[in-house]
């Protein structure tokens, strides 16, 4: 920073949519959702902040030695960032707009405290950064990731005070969203890249990896930890530098269905391997996004049209894949469309409101006979959904309603 975990006494510690707050009202249930829809209209995107806090506490309970850096990209709603900020979370950002969402929470700090907080609490985890971004970040001396020769030269010229973290490519087998084809240095190149960074007057403080989003193959983590341990040892043996930050990324799975193993099982494996492979002064970071926000949000939408096509009931609702259901496209997650109405069900199609046939939510929803004006809902829709909403066809994203802030 020129800084390093060795030469400093301190360590890095472990628009457009209306937003409506609601008092503390307990857990989300059908009655509550109907009341909120009656009050605020539809579609509404309901964020339960108490559930968010519960998820954070659960993560910390199972991985007590791992500092949480919330992946803002999973859901960049400023109020989510604010809630996590208040309970001690750090933040993983991947763009300057995300950085500024976090910055809004600390702008009233004295300048020296603000810079120290950013240095200690933010990692810019996009390995490719525009020059303008590097220049804006440099004064805060944050952690930034890199994975190639050209990025070393950009950081040297435009953010020489940053602390570097080398991202390596690791197995993503079985993960819902594969990431290693786009990001990460080959492990065989890691030591040479770290040496090159030091040769250019930079300080490499850490190593990072990502096993892929919604990782249900826990062996990915085990292999990544072993690769990291080997690289860290070789760095010390070959170039005499110590790496004392390990960022184990995200990928922590959400139980979208009962077949997905719990974080308790993964945490037990991680804790044992980290203890076995790394020295006690290694600082362990993680970037959970989906795990913290996926089950905190529920969408309520309204049936605005109805038809029968090839003998199948078809319903058109006022939210779709260009909006909150975008996670079905970008995140490869299906969100069941559920009825408030009871009755005998039949296989039905559900479409979004736009004029594009691509705006198809499902062709196989189990729904009773619905009428225009009836409401439906989808649960566990908090990650990589509303964050990707557009205004396609002029339809705005769902109104955000906050509960239990």
Which domains are assigned to the chain? 49-293 (3.20.20.10), 295-403 (2.40.37.10)
Give the pLDDT of residue 87.
Answer: 96
Residues 166 and 193 sit within 8 Å (Cβ to Cβ): yes
Q: How many CB atoms lie within 10 A of CB 204?
A: 23
DSSP state of 257: S
Q: Report, as an integer, the average pLDDT of 224-242.
A: 95
Give the pLDDT of residue 13.
Answer: 44
The residues assigned a catalytic role are: 355
Q: Which residue in 344, 346, 342 sits closest to 365, CA to CA? A: 346
Is the per-residue pLDDT at 345 higher than 90? yes
Q: Which residue in 373, 304, 370, 299 sits closest to 336, CA to CA? A: 299
In whole angstroms, what is the distance from residue 391 CA to residue 370 CA? 27
Query: CB-based contacts of 404: which residues, under 8 Å, 6+ apart?
Result: 22, 24, 25, 26, 48, 49, 50, 51
Is the per-residue pLDDT at 28 higher than 90? no
Higher pLDDT, 329 or 148: 148
- Asked which of 183-197, 243-257, 320-334 is least confident by mean pLDDT, the reply is 243-257
Band of the pLDDT at 67, cuts 50, 70, 90?
very high
Percent of the residues in the chain that have a pLDDT greater than 90, as a whole number: 78
Residues 229 and 184 sit within 8 Å (Cβ to Cβ): no
Mean predicted lDDT score pLDDT of the chain: 89
CA angle 386, 388, 393 (to 5 degrees): 95
- Interhelix angle 78-86/49-62, rounded to 10 degrees, is 50
Higher pLDDT, 330 or 341: 341
Is the per-residue pLDDT at 287 higher than 50? yes
């Amino acid at each position: 920073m020129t800084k390093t975990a060795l030469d400093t006494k301190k360590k890095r510690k472990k628009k457009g949519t209306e937003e409506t707050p609601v008092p503390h009202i307990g857990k989300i249930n059908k009655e509550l959702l109907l009341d909120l829809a009656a009050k605020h209209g539809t579609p509404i995107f309901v964020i339960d902040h108490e559930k968010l806090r519960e998820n954070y506490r659960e993560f910390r309970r199972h991985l007590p030695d791992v500092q949480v850096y919330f992946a803002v990209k999973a859901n960049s709603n400023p109020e989510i960032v604010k809630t996590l900020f208040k309970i001690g979370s750090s933040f993983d950002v991947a763009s300057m707009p995300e950085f500024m969402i976090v910055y809004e929470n600390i702008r009233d700090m004295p300048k020296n405290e603000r810079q120290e907080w950013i240095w200690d609490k933010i990692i810019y985890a996009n390995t490719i950064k525009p020059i303008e971004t590097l220049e804006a970040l440099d004064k805060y001396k944050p952690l930034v990731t890199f994975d190639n020769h050209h990025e070393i030269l950009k950081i040297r010229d435009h953010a020489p005070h940053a602390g570097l973290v080398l991202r390596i490519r690791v197995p993503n087998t079985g993960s819902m969203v594969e990431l290693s084809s786009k990001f990460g240095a080959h492990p065989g190149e890691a030591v040479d890249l770290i040496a090159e960074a030091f040769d250019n007057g930079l300080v490499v403080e850490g190593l990072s990896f990502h096993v892929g989003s919604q990782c249900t193959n826990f062996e990915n983590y085990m292999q990544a930890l072993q690769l990291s341990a080997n690289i860290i040892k070789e760095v010390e043996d070959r170039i005499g530098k110590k790496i004392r930050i390990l960022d184990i990324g995200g990928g922590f799975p959400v139980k979208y269905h009962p077949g997905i193993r719990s974080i308790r099982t993964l945490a037990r494996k991680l804790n044992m391997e980290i203890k076995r492979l790394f020295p006690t002064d290694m600082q362990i970071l993680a970037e959970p996004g989906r795990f913290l926000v996926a089950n905190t949000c529920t969408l309520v939408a309204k049936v605005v049209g109805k038809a029968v096509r090839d003998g199948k009931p078809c319903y058109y609702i006022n939210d779709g894949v260009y909006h909150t259901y975008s996670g079905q496209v970008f995140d490869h997650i299906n969100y069941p469309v559920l009825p408030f109405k009871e009755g005998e069900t039949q296989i039905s199609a559900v479409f979004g409101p736009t004029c594009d046939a691509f705006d198809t939510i499902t062709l196989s929803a189990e729904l009773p006979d619905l009428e225009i004006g009836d409401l439906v809902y989808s649960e566990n829709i908090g990650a990589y959904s509303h964050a990707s909403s557009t205004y396609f066809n002029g339809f705005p994203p769902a109104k955000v309603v906050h509960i239990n802030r």
